């Protein structure tokens, strides 16, 4: 993985998101590298356990509420 991809998240740490952040897209709009890859919407609210992983950069999101 390139350094650019890891700049969106700490290694091994899931990114907490709340329901007010839905619909969830990656990269997040306020990320420093918001144009890292094409925006992809992740249906985290429909996923078991409220977790989703970006298919482009591997960012791991967790629904916190």
Q: What phi, psi does 31 have (nearest 5°)?
A: -70, 145
Q: Work out the pLDDT band at 5, boundaries 50, 70, 90.
A: very low
> How many of the other CB atoms lie within 10 Å of CB of 47?
14
**Given the DSSP bridges, would you call strands 40-42 and 51-53 parallel, antiparallel or unpaired?**
unpaired
Q: What is the pTM of this model?
A: 0.76
- Closest listed residue to residue 16, CA positions, set 33, 38, 24, 37: 24
Q: 15-65, pLDDT tens digit by residue?
A: 999 999 999 999 998 888 878 899 999 999 999 899 999 999 999 999 998
pLDDT at 29: 86
d(CA 45, CA 40): 15
């Amino acid at each position: 993985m390139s350094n650019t991809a890891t700049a969106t998240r700490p290694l091994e740490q899931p990114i907490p998101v709340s329901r007010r952040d839905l619909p969830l897209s990656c990269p997040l709009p306020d990320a420093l590298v918001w144009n890292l890859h094409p925006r992809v919407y992740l249906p985290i609210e429909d996923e078991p356990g409220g977790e989703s992983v970006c298919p482009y950069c591997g960012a791991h999101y967790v629904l916190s509420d």
